[in-house]
Amino acid sequence: MKVFLRFMMIALGICIAQAGFAQSKTITGRITASEDGIALPGVSVVVRGTANGTSADVDGRYSIQAAPGEVLVFSYIGMLAQEHTVGDGNTIDVALSPDNKTLSEVVVVGYGTQKRANLTGAVSTVDTKVLESRPITDVARGLQGTTPGLTITTASGAIGQNPDIRLRGMAGTLSNSSGAQPLILVDNVEISSLQMVNPEDIESISVLKDAASASIYGARGAFGVILITTKTGKRNSPAKVSYSNNFSWSAPTTTPEIAPAADGAEVAFRALQRTNPSTNVFGVVGMYIDQTSITKMREWEAQYGGQDLGEEMVLGRDFEIRDGRLFFYRSWDPGEVFMRDWTPQQKHDVSVSGGSEKTNYYLGLGYLGQEGVLKVNPDEFNRYNLNVGVNTTVTDWFDARAKVLYTKSEFTRPFYFSSETYDPWYYLYRWPAVYPYGTYEGHPFRSAITEVQQAKMNNEASSMARMNIGGTLRPFEGLTIDADYTYTYNNSHEHQTGGVLSAYNFWATGADLTYAPYSSPAFNRVQYNSDWSNRSVGKAFATYVKDLGDHSFKVIAGGDAEVYEYWYQMSQKRNLMDPNRGEIDLATGDQFVDGARNKWATLGAFGRLNYSFRDKFLLEFNGRYDGASRLSPTKKWAFFPSMSAGYVISEEPFMEFSKPVLSFLKFRGSWGSIGNQNANLGDIYRLMSPTTSNWLVGGVNMITAGTPGAFPYSLTWETASTLDFGLDSRFLNDKIAVTFDWYKRTISDMHSPGVTLPSTFGTSVPKRNYGELQTTGWELAVDFNHSFGNGLNFNATGTLSDFQEKVTKYENTILGLPNPIGAINRNYYEGMVLGEIWGYETDRFFTKDDFVLDADGNPVLENGSYVLNDGVPSQALYESGWFLYGPGDVKYKDLNGDGVIDYGSQTVDDHGDMKKIGNSTPRYQYGLRLGADWKGFDLSMFVQGVGKRDFWANGPIFIPGYRPGEAWYAHQLDYWTPENPNAFYPRPTDAGMSNSSRNFLPQTKYLLDLSYMRMKNVTFGYSLPTALTEKVKIERLRVYVSGENLFEFDKLGDMPIDPEVNYTSSGLNDPNTFGRVYPYRRTFSFGLQATF
């Protein structure tokens, strides 16, 4: 029976095969490029799963035998492969679309280019299309979420602000606050900010992550390199004019909501009565609250709430004076008074490019205009960009080039009377809803809004001019010599004009409402802040390429030198004669001046050797010898090597079987070291600061000089060493690409405080090389693209990365905890993971059942604390004065079971009931970009987020009752009362302006979860048919609409903060400003792109 079945199966198979052969027919067609319709000769046409194939002729035509139901695969270098199923017809015409991933097979790396397949280091490239059609103001914001390992954040939503950029880490080193900032190079020369380059002028972006890739840049590239190449024109191309614009409108993502007047006053009153139970009235900055005023607030809201009463306040209706005190009843929404609902922005870019047989050129112009959200005296930012480049072939053996990059920005904002630390946003949300933002008898009360209304506009103008000349010499085949000189000049000038504020200063006068000047004389001033810098960079290197059959060699050797100078000057004069004319010679008061100047230089020589055997075995060796003026004379020079290797295993014959599925597979590894010279100049150059003596000689105070610090003769380079293992793979005829990297970066010989010496030493102890920080992480990128037979093209790109930074060597012999509660404050200890948060595990709220009660059912007070029942651990350590833990207060868990809640010796070995409750470092950062286009329509979506991040914040937005008398917020009204025992927040109390005391010791219950997923961008566009646009001499015309920061999913509940709040800071300069900063924004825009 089995033999018979086998025979029948074989016979059936033969019949099917013969039937299929009998049904085969000739399929013909023409293959063209989708962009311009030009024929594509040489396109491979294969019947999937067979060896049957052919290629297109010079006219793009092909002919092949195939049966209905079989699938034809069309593939071509630089194009997305397509599959078409054979049907009843005999003709299949195909239009192939460009494969941008394949087109970028040549990747820009340090001092040259390399085939992507031959890369052995950790290098990521960014598709510059991610910068198009988005209302972004700078390149950095456009890079967010595009590259695994790259972290980009902003401290607030302020216009004209530079984002913080970190690569493979946050801290980078413990010796300074600059963090793991990569070196940013535009055309191989550093720029201080990505604001200075127009996104429309960018040709390519490469991110060099590991030491092997970045080491050739030496002293400045210890934390990686972002390498940007700007556009140039094409040879033998007629002049091409491109124009694009973007018009957008923005609104805040979230802002704090102050509690309704009566509700906020009631909870504030409860908190103050706890401090002093006999309190029946209390005041802050001249405003008072009592039970009568709370009742009148509710009456006012019931009668007038929601009505437009204008700015003028009425005595007796909106406020009153009782017993010589001011009581306010009218509610205000300061955000509504202060902010516009939508703010405009516009961006315009135009470029001209082209070239002849021997010369090509590019001219790019850009303009960005942003307006801020203020209703009165709105802030405004304008930026102008110019990019000009010319390349020409002078002779057969010499090319010359020149490029000019120029950026100018202008920023205006109202003068900050409060200070640079606390801007108007801090004060705007500081006070309760009854704070008077209106006028009385035509005059304003003192407020943040009054200060903005009366402020003069500050003007800050910055510019950057960079000029480059260079040439390429080709003495003989295989050898090129490049030399470039670049000069960069930066300057910034700020003009501040203060003045005198006038209002009802009830803070000081109380109920005596006298309209008069009240601001500090220090603000009645004119001030100029100016800084200049220039940078001269010379680079020269030779490249020799030689192919010897299966062996390929590429050698680079060269050197570079950099000199940087910086000046700063400040001049201030007080007592303005006329605030409308803020000039030094129109002020009559005291004059103040300040200034600074520094200079440093680097010099280095480098070499690189690349070897390839059949594009299968790959080796690279780098060496760099660097010198830096920032280091001590005997330690200025050091040698830093690196090496990497790759193995393209998919090129092995034994992997041939996998080709239909696994198109490409490469394993690679690298190790290298780079010197970090970002030391403070003051660590090396010791100053003898001049002062005036407090003793007299001949009746005159003498000029003296302080003792300089000891010279750190042994201080040398910090060293960044990186070990990296990765793989690059592609599947299904390059439809899917997967890249993975694991790395470990060690910063050794960190600049650390010197050993403690006796006070008799007489001066400060110099820094030394000691300490080690290790960053371990991984990165994953996945790309997918596919073209369907109906012309639909789809692509997706996903990125995911993670890292942790760990202190592996540090001088902290007692292993004191990082910023613990108590006296000891050791910032770091060996074994510490940076960002770790130590605190308590929250149990619940105390109830009466936890205490011994008296006959009236109240807790018994004994020896300054309420008596606890047996088995209830004591929290007396955190009690003081009037504050005693009672019903409604936070109860912490006794983790060590000793019956007392404490922090032990505040060390790693003895931390009492504290434990690690979280970490503020962003973990599992990800991005997902989806795109599709069909018959001129295109749609793209970009999702970005952070999978894990904890945060223990500070300030009144986070902690209810942070400062007595100030605002409570709507999200804080779910607080404990005997009638609401299951509330989220504890019994109202004065928090003591601290995030580490009383009910708000660092703890698990109120630890913020700042993980999020955000729809970063959605863009929908349409490109008009070429046949239509050509009639009006337009080569390409596309219109689009776009949305930025459209919505997000987070775990913040009602907490009114944006989850992207800066990873490196609690807020603007001061942690108390957390949540009270310039709002982050959602943006909607439209625009067009045209090429003539």
User: pLDDT, tens digit, for every residue of 325-344?
Assistant: 999 999 999 989 989 999 99
Whether 677 has a pLDDT exceeding 90, the answer reads: no
- Looking at residue 9, its pLDDT comes to 39
Distances in whole angstroms, Cα of residue 787 to Cα of each of 32, 48, 75, 105, 617:
14, 16, 11, 20, 33
Q: Does any domain span residue 777?
A: no
| Residue 412 and residue 377 in contact, taking contact as beta carbons nearer than 8 Å | no
Q: Does any domain span residue 385?
A: no
Of the pLDDT bands very low, low, confident and very high (cuts 50, 70, 90), residue 959 is very high
Across the chain, mean pLDDT equals: 88
d(CA 821, CA 839): 9
Of the pLDDT bands very low, low, confident and very high (cuts 50, 70, 90), residue 825 is very low
Q: Does any domain span residue 938?
A: no
Distances in whole angstroms, Cα of residue 118 to Cα of each of 167, 551, 728, 969:
23, 13, 10, 58
E strand or H helix that includes residue 294: helix 291-304
Q: Does any domain span residue 1079?
A: yes
Number of domains in the chain: 2
| Mean pLDDT along residues 399-411 | 95
pLDDT digits (tens, 9 = 90+) for 621-672: 999 999 988 887 788 898 999 999 999 999 899 998 988 899 999 999 999 9
d(CA 661, CA 732): 5
- 332 versus 33: which is more confidently predicted? 332
Whether 31 has a pLDDT exceeding 60, the answer reads: yes
| Mean pLDDT along residues 824-851 | 88
Whether 397 has a pLDDT exceeding 90, the answer reads: yes
Of the pLDDT bands very low, low, confident and very high (cuts 50, 70, 90), residue 370 is very high
d(CA 274, CA 281): 13
- Looking at residue 472, its pLDDT comes to 95
Percent of the chain scoring above 90 in pLDDT: 57
Of the pLDDT bands very low, low, confident and very high (cuts 50, 70, 90), residue 12 is very low
Sort 269 into a burial class: Cβ within 10 Å, 0-12 / 13-18 / 19+: buried
Q: Which two tokens stand for residue 825?
A: 């404050």
Last residue of a domain, one of 53, 80, 98: 98
CA proximity to 770, closest of 748, 745, 785 = 748
Whether 1021 has a pLDDT exceeding 90, the answer reads: yes
Of the pLDDT bands very low, low, confident and very high (cuts 50, 70, 90), residue 363 is very high
Sort 988 into a burial class: Cβ within 10 Å, 0-12 / 13-18 / 19+: buried
Of the pLDDT bands very low, low, confident and very high (cuts 50, 70, 90), residue 843 is very high
Q: Does any domain span residue 536?
A: no
Whether 223 has a pLDDT exceeding 50, the answer reads: yes
Of the pLDDT bands very low, low, confident and very high (cuts 50, 70, 90), residue 814 is low
Whether 823 has a pLDDT exceeding 60, the answer reads: no
Least confident of 575-584, 812-821, 919-928: 812-821
Q: Does any domain span residue 752?
A: no
**What's the length of the chain?**
1092
Contacts of the segment 853-861: beta carbons below 8 A, 24+ positions apart = 859/886, 859/887
d(CA 87, CA 65): 13
d(CA 795, CA 782): 11
- Looking at residue 3, its pLDDT comes to 39
Q: Does any domain span residue 1081?
A: yes
The pTM assigned to this predicted structure is 0.85
Question: Of 276-280, 555-559, 1057-1061, which has the strongest mean pLDDT?
Answer: 555-559
pLDDT digits (tens, 9 = 90+) for 769-804: 888 999 999 999 999 998 887 778 899 999 999 999
> Residues near 822 by Cβ (< 8 Å), separated by ≥ 6?
903, 906
CA proximity to 729, closest of 664, 779, 778 = 664
d(CA 218, CA 224): 10
Last residue of a domain, one of 67, 98, 129: 98
d(CA 1011, CA 794): 29
d(CA 227, CA 90): 50
Least confident of 48-62, 749-763, 840-854: 749-763
How far the first Cα of the chain sits from its last, in Å, is 76
CA proximity to 675, closest of 742, 620, 600, 604 = 604
β-pairing, 61-66 with 94-96? unpaired
Of the pLDDT bands very low, low, confident and very high (cuts 50, 70, 90), residue 897 is very high
Q: Which two tokens stand for residue 630?
A: 């920032």
pLDDT digits (tens, 9 = 90+) for 229-243: 999 888 888 899 999
State the residue range of the domain holding 324.
Answer: 251-341+954-989+1000-1091
For 976, list phi and psi in degrees, rounded to 5. -70, 135
| Mean pLDDT along residues 588-610 | 93
pLDDT digits (tens, 9 = 90+) for 154-187: 878 888 888 888 898 888 777 665 667 888 999 8
Q: Does any domain span residue 1062?
A: yes
For 571, list phi and psi in degrees, rounded to 5. -135, 135
Least confident of 164-168, 522-526, 1020-1024: 164-168
- Looking at residue 753, its pLDDT comes to 72
Last residue of a domain, one of 98, 114, 142: 98
Contacts of the segment 897-903: beta carbons below 8 A, 24+ positions apart = 898/873, 899/873, 899/874, 900/873, 900/874, 900/876, 901/840, 901/873, 901/874, 901/875, 901/877, 902/877, 903/817, 903/820, 903/821, 903/822
Of the pLDDT bands very low, low, confident and very high (cuts 50, 70, 90), residue 105 is low
Percent of the chain scoring above 70 in pLDDT: 92
Write the CATH number for 42: 2.60.40.1120
